[in-house]
Amino acid sequence: MKSELARAANSTATLDGLVDDLQRLRMAVGDVSYAEIAARIARRRVVQGMSPAAARVARSSVFDAFGTGRRRINAELVAEIVRALGADDATAEVWRRRFLEARLARPRRAGCVGRPARLAGQPAHL
């Protein structure tokens, strides 16, 4: 696991590249199931003071974090996943920052100005 953590912490990549790194980390620690990762995250959240209901994370949310082709990913969840796979808080923070940086560095599609286009006849405040 240490070699995967070190390699990933020192690379610069697209979101897809980072997701590939995250998948390699998961495999390096024993191909932990998505359900188990979600359960570990929930247990940690409860220990930190969240109610069990609020601490729950869907297995599908964890699964989605490992999917390529995404334009946006929850960097906080990535940090929690990395912790659930055995990393310390400092390492999880490195992963969180890398995902944020990759998301910010992603070039915008032509014509995209950050807000959905207004439909004809729709009030300007919407």
pLDDT in tens, 32-46: 999 999 999 999 999
pTM for the full predicted model: 0.75
DSSP calls for the chain: -HHHHHHHHT----HHHHHHHHHHHHHHTT---HHHHHHHHHHHHHHTT--HHHH---HHHHHHHT-SS-S---HHHHHHHHHHTT--HHHHHHHHHHHHHHHHHSPPPTT--SSPPPPTT--TT-
Q: Residues of the chain with pLDDT > 70: what percent?
A: 74
**Domain locations in the chain as residue ranges:** 2-105
The CA distance from 67 to 45, in Å, is: 24
pLDDT tens, position by position, 60-118: 999 999 998 887 889 999 999 999 999 999 999 999 999 998 877 765 554 444 443 44
